[in-house]
Structure 1
Amino acid sequence: MTKKRFSPLALVVTALLAAAVTAAVLAGAAWVLLGRAGLGMAQAMVLINTQFVGEHDIDKAVDQAMDALIKGLGDRWSYYMDADSYAAQQESRSNSYVGIGVTVTYPEGGGMLIQSVTEGGPAAEAGLTAGERIVAVDGTELTGENQKEGATLIKGEEGTQVVLTVESSDGACREVTVTRNRVVVHPAEGKLLSDGTGLVTIKNFNSYCAEETIAAVEDLVDQGAERLVFDVRNNGGGYVDELTRLLDYLLPEGDIFRSETKAGAKQVVTSDASCVDLPMAVLVNGNTYSAAELFAAELQEMDWGVIVGEPTFGKGFSQQTFPLLNGGAINISTARYYTGKGVCLIGTGLTLDREVTLTQEQSEALAAGTLAPEDDPQLQAALALLAEN
């Protein structure tokens, strides 16, 4: 007959000690990951959920708190998105979304100023044009206070209708009914000019950018293009993978992109020897950001192209989007990026080979897609610079 190895008391004590150790480890991990400030926010949520007696919408409160938290970082490239905004961003980055097909800005005085209308989209079919201002959506006026709610009000299910009150430049108003539909944005398109220049307009570096740009270049080369001008004005950037794939296609062998994370992890992307051996220029302006800015910088650094246009901001952080449990997401800067030779653009922007500015009228025509090549002083300056080299 053998004795029991452990008494009931010993088992209870052992379980309690294990639980205490586990709790201590978890508490330590929470302290390391969240810090005093993060634990304080968690404590506030516990107190609100258990003690606060007032009527409230906790989801709305969390959205506002998260928005303030990310804004408090002081980084213009980092932001919070609620569930609806996150879903809209995912659609937008795919270059395919349900909407009416307009690009807008938010001018002083309210409303949404139409900058461009997607060709073949619902807005174009309904007769909306660049330069008009949407002042109300389904009867809701877009004043200064709720101006940016217009985009949310316009959104809806495919096949449904929205009534827009539109004001023309002369102040005349009209109502336009637009049927929401799927809008496909082509991020790149090419055009062969009469002098043999292949003009490639790149709208963004989101999904399919590299594929469509490469196809446009190959088509222009087949048509006999003698030089290439890439227009990345008003291009807000996009995915690093799209950028590096395109640079690899265009450029000869060498380093074309570098990045470094907070933890010190470094990445270097290298191009192979295959390239497009034609004179090149890149058109930029103050709205050329991120991947678009680095695209121009890398062509110049490899002595493969010249840059013409207006000074750029100088963005040097790349961002990642992290989904959250509440359905929203945060988009935060997670790495610094550099040109292939290790040059950071922060605080300097691009070094222009020739600075040329557009008038307000020309800038508006550019945004609307109606600025003719012969009336585009930046394009003409790029062609003159290529002719000199």
Structure 2
Amino acid sequence: MKTKRFSLRTLLLTAVLTVVLTAGVLLGAAWLLLGRAGVSMAETMVLINTLFVGEHDIQTATDQALDSLITGLGDRWSYYMDADSYQQQIQRRSNSYVGIGVTVTYLEEGVLHIEAVTAGGPAETAGLQAGEEITAVDGTALTAENISEATSLIQGEEGTQVTLTVRGTDGTEREVTVTRSQIDESPAEGELLSDGTGLVTIRNFNSRCAEDAIAAVDSLVEQGAQRLVFDVRNNGGGYVSELTDLLDHLLPEGTIFRQRSNFGWETTVTSDAQCVELPMAVLVNGNTYSAAEFFAAQLQEMDWGVIVGEPTFGKGFSQQTFPLASGGAVNLSTARYFTGEGVSLIGTGLTLDQEVALTEEQAAALSAGTLDPSEDPQLQAAIELLRETEEPS
């Protein structure tokens, strides 16, 4: 007669032990990954979702908690984005978005200052100008309390309209209705100046930057440019891949970028021997960050370019964006970066070959895109510096 290999009691005991062991492993893994603080946050969420009786919006509470968590790291380059902000970042980094075509800054009194107006965009068509201020959106007055929501109020679906209350530079107010549309911005453009200088303006290092900048450089070389000046003033940076692709096109053979992760893993990017052999200069200011700042540093380090302008901050962390289940995302510093020779810019910024400042009026015109090259002291100083190093013909 055959007997059962395992009794029911044995099977039940095995199942219970398996569950307990699995739970223990999972809890142990959670403790290792999250630490005491992370487990405490998870416990708090469980308590709120199961026991809290007050009226609340859990997503709003979560957004505030995540924002405080990342802010508490003390790293100005790391930040949390809710779902709407994350979608706006995706559009901005693609250099293609639905909007009205203005670049704005927040003022303490609760208004939006128009820094620049996109050429050919809806705002320009409606008559908005750099230097003016937006004080209300669709009848909602902007205040210090709601100013952070202002850009969300202005944005909307393509083809819809938004009515702005605008204060002109003379202090008078008027209402302007603007139709939102798809705006495709070029991150880089080239211009051949009358003296033979090829001026390449790089607005950001986001999508298509390398492609547009390389096309601009090649076109200027074909037109007979004698020297190149790259303008990365007010450039907040962008993608490492766009930066290194452009550097590879310009520079001779060598290491052009180093990056070291939290685990100590180091990656390097090298340039091939093909390069652009023209005297080069880079224009920078206090708003030249990240990839833009590094671009200037690497050209200078390889004796391929000089730097003219104003001191920079000195950024040395690179970030990654991690989408979250909520629809939001965390932009987190995950690596340190260095020049090809292993130099970090943290705490020092760029070493200027010539420091030249702009007046307030000139800086405003630069932001608005209306500063004439002949009246730009930083550009003219860079051209003169390059001429001094050029061999006589």
Could you state the TM-score of these two structures normalised by the residue count of structure 2?
0.98
Q: What residue in structure 2 maps to residue 364 of structure 1?
A: 364
Q: What residue in structure 1 maps to residue 127 of structure 2?
A: 127
Q: What residue in structure 1 maps to residue 63 of structure 2?
A: 63
Letter in 1 for 2:213: T
Letter in 2 for 1:353: D
Letter in 1 for 2:375: D
Paired residue secondary structure (2:212)? helix
Q: What residue in structure 1 maps to residue 260 of structure 2?
A: 260
After the TM superposition, which residues 107-122 of structure 1 pair with which residues of structure 2 at under 5 Å, given as runs?
107-122=107-122
After the TM superposition, which residues 192-207 of structure 1 pair with which residues of structure 2 at under 5 Å, given as runs?
192-207=192-207
Q: Distance in 2 between matches of 1:120 and 1:342?
A: 43
> Could you tell which deviates more after superposition, 166-175 or 201-210?
166-175
Verify: 1:175 aligned to 2:169, yes or no.
Answer: no
Q: Distance in 2 between matches of 1:192 and 1:387?
A: 16
Letter in 2 for 1:166: V
Instruction: Deviation per CA, 1:299-344: give whole Å up to 9, x if none.
Output: 0000000000000000000000000011100001000000011000
Q: What residue in structure 1 maps to residue 53 of structure 2?
A: 53
Verify: 1:22 aligned to 2:22, yes or no.
Answer: yes
Q: What residue in structure 2 maps to residue 251 of structure 1?
A: 251
Q: What residue in structure 2 maps to residue 7 of structure 1?
A: 7
Paired residue secondary structure (1:178)? strand
Return the offset for 1:148: 2.1
Q: What residue in structure 2 maps to residue 162 of structure 1?
A: 162
Return the offset for 1:265: 1.3
Q: What residue in structure 1 maps to residue 341 of structure 2?
A: 341
Letter in 2 for 1:204: N
Q: Distance in 1 between matches of 2:195 and 2:23?
A: 74
Q: What residue in structure 1 maps to residue 225 of structure 2?
A: 225
Paired residue secondary structure (1:77)? coil
Letter in 2 for 1:266: E
Verify: 1:355 aligned to 2:371, yes or no.
Answer: no
Q: Distance in 2 between matches of 1:2 and 1:345?
A: 78
Q: What residue in structure 2 maps to residue 321 of structure 1?
A: 321
- Percent of aligned positions that are identical: 72
Q: Distance in 1 between matches of 2:33 and 2:301?
A: 40
Q: What residue in structure 1 maps to residue 213 of structure 2?
A: 213
Return the offset for 1:146: 1.2
Q: Distance in 2 between matches of 1:361 and 1:78?
A: 32
> Could you tell which deviates more after superposition, 235-244 or 106-115?
106-115
Paired residue secondary structure (1:283)? strand
Letter in 1 for 2:287: N
> Could you tell which deviates more after superposition, 231-240 or 14-23?
14-23
Q: Distance in 2 between matches of 1:238 and 1:294?
A: 11
Letter in 2 for 1:228: L
Instruction: Deviation per CA, 1:160-208: give whole Å up to 9, x if none.
Output: 0000000011111010000000011100000000000000000000000
> Could you tell which deviates more after superposition, 278-287 or 112-121?
112-121
Letter in 1 for 2:339: T
Letter in 1 for 2:244: T
Letter in 1 for 2:240: V
Paired residue secondary structure (2:183)? strand
> What is the aligned residue count?
389
RMSD of Structure 2 on Structure 1 (CA)? 0.6
Q: Distance in 2 between matches of 1:53 and 1:19?
A: 32
Q: Distance in 1 between matches of 2:107 and 2:381?
A: 30
Paired residue secondary structure (2:336)? strand
Return the offset for 1:109: 1.6
Paired residue secondary structure (2:107)? coil
After the TM superposition, which residues 278-293 of structure 1 pair with which residues of structure 2 at under 5 Å, given as runs?
278-293=278-293
Q: Distance in 2 between matches of 1:18 and 1:53?
A: 36
Q: Distance in 2 between matches of 1:142 and 1:362?
A: 28
Letter in 1 for 2:168: S
Paired residue secondary structure (2:54)? coil
Paired residue secondary structure (2:334)? strand
Q: Distance in 2 between matches of 1:22 and 1:54?
A: 35
Paired residue secondary structure (1:106)? strand
Instruction: Deviation per CA, 1:251-294: give whole Å up to 9, x if none.
Output: 00000000000011110000000000000000000000000000
Return the offset for 1:2: 2.5
Q: What residue in structure 2 maps to residue 153 of structure 1?
A: 153
Letter in 1 for 2:209: C
Q: Distance in 1 between matches of 2:337 and 2:386?
A: 29
Letter in 2 for 1:30: A
Letter in 1 for 2:379: L
Return the offset for 1:108: 2.5
Letter in 2 for 1:199: L
Q: Distance in 2 between matches of 1:189 and 1:113?
A: 25
Letter in 2 for 1:176: V
Runs of 4 or more consecutive aligned structure 1 residues displaced over 2 Å after TM superposition? none
Gaps of 5+ in 2: none
> Could you tell which deviates more after superposition, 106-115 or 292-301?
106-115
Q: Distance in 2 between matches of 1:242 and 1:264?
A: 24
Q: Distance in 2 between matches of 1:184 and 1:310?
A: 30
Letter in 2 for 1:242: E
Gaps of 5+ in 1: none
Letter in 2 for 1:87: Q
> Could you tell which deviates more after superposition, 138-147 or 266-275?
138-147
Paired residue secondary structure (2:24)? helix
Paired residue secondary structure (2:327)? coil
Q: What residue in structure 2 maps to residue 100 of structure 1?
A: 100
